[in-house]
Amino acid sequence: MEGLEPLRIEGEVRVKRIRGVSLCGRLPAHVAERQAGSAERLLREAGYRDVEIRREVLRGERAPLSPGSLICLWVESEEPSYLGSDALGEKGKPAEEVGREAAKLLVRQLRTGAPVDLHTADNLILWCSLADGESLFRTSELTLHTLTAIRLAEMITEARFVVKGSLGEPTLIRCQGVGLRR
């Protein structure tokens, strides 16, 4: 069996469209509508015209055990990218704020031009360490989670990483994977 191919995602993100889903369960349907509406407004004000957020109310067997809401946004781009954001509703937090929170985070990441978001970066580390060859990707923000994942991958796999950037800033991550084969 062949090993994993290295990951190379380094170009600037050119957004084709932004998609998302706004969900609520055991709450009135207007909660999902208000979350989505506020996110769409902020994204359009930031210059993104092709924005579509699906509204969904979870009922019946799909309903959660307790009331809650969330919104999840993602970017569809011309080149490979892994960019998204989300926000959770909470008691006393207006639905409009939940939508704005997710949209602001996505816009902030898009402004960096990096094709990998701050939450996906740490999930790519182990796969890059196991790949056969050099992986390279730019993330919108270096987090402690990513630095921890790098340190663990180095200890477990003996892969080598080079991090060009600082905590809280856009960062280029290189990894010479170990070429694990089955």
Instruction: Looking at the structure, tell me whether residues 19 and 48 fall in a common domain.
Output: yes
Q: Report d(CA 176, CA 11) in Å as an integer.
A: 19
Q: Please say which residue of 92, 110, 128 terminates a domain.
A: 110
Confidence of residue 10 (pLDDT cuts 50, 70, 90): confident
- pLDDT of 146 above 90: yes
Provide the H-helix boundaries in the chain.
29-45, 95-110, 121-130, 144-157
> Does a structural domain hold residue 182?
no
- pLDDT of 1 above 60: no
Q: Which residues pair with 102 in a beta bridge?
A: none
Q: Please say which residue of 66, 86, 110 terminates a domain.
A: 110
> What mean pLDDT do residues 75-86 have?
96
Instruction: Looking at the structure, tell me whether residues 23 and 97 fall in a common domain.
Output: yes
- pLDDT of 99 above 60: yes
Instruction: Tell me what pLDDT residue 56 has.
Output: 98
> Does a structural domain hold residue 9?
no
The catalytic position among 145, 147, 157, 176 is 145
Structural domain range at position 48: 15-110
CB neighbours of 145 closer than 8 A, spacing ≥ 6? 119, 122
Instruction: Looking at the structure, tell me whether residues 84 and 161 fall in a common domain.
Output: no
Q: Report d(CA 10, CA 138) in Å as an integer.
A: 5
Instruction: Looking at the structure, tell me whether residues 31 and 59 fall in a common domain.
Output: yes
Q: Please say which residue of 110, 131, 165 terminates a domain.
A: 110
Question: What CATH number does the domain containing 102 carry?
Answer: 3.30.360.20
Instruction: Looking at the structure, tell me whether residues 76 and 30 fall in a common domain.
Output: yes
Identify whether the C-beta of residue 72 lies closer than 8 Å to the C-beta of residue 19: no
**What integer best gives the mean pLDDT of the chain?**
97
Q: Is 30 one of the catalytic residues?
A: no
Instruction: Looking at the structure, tell me whether residues 97 and 137 fall in a common domain.
Output: no
Number of domains in the chain: 2
Identify whether the C-beta of residue 83 lies closer than 8 Å to the C-beta of residue 140: yes
Instruction: Looking at the structure, tell me whether residues 21 and 103 fall in a common domain.
Output: yes
> Does a structural domain hold residue 134?
yes
Instruction: Tell me what pLDDT residue 73 has.
Output: 99
> Does a structural domain hold residue 181?
no
Instruction: Looking at the structure, tell me whether residues 29 and 89 fall in a common domain.
Output: yes
> Does a structural domain hold residue 89?
yes
Compute φ and ψ for 133, nearest 5 degrees: 125, -170
Instruction: Looking at the structure, tell me whether residues 45 and 97 fall in a common domain.
Output: yes
- For residue 28, how many other CB atoms are within 10 A of its CB? 12
Instruction: Tell me what pLDDT residue 112 has.
Output: 97
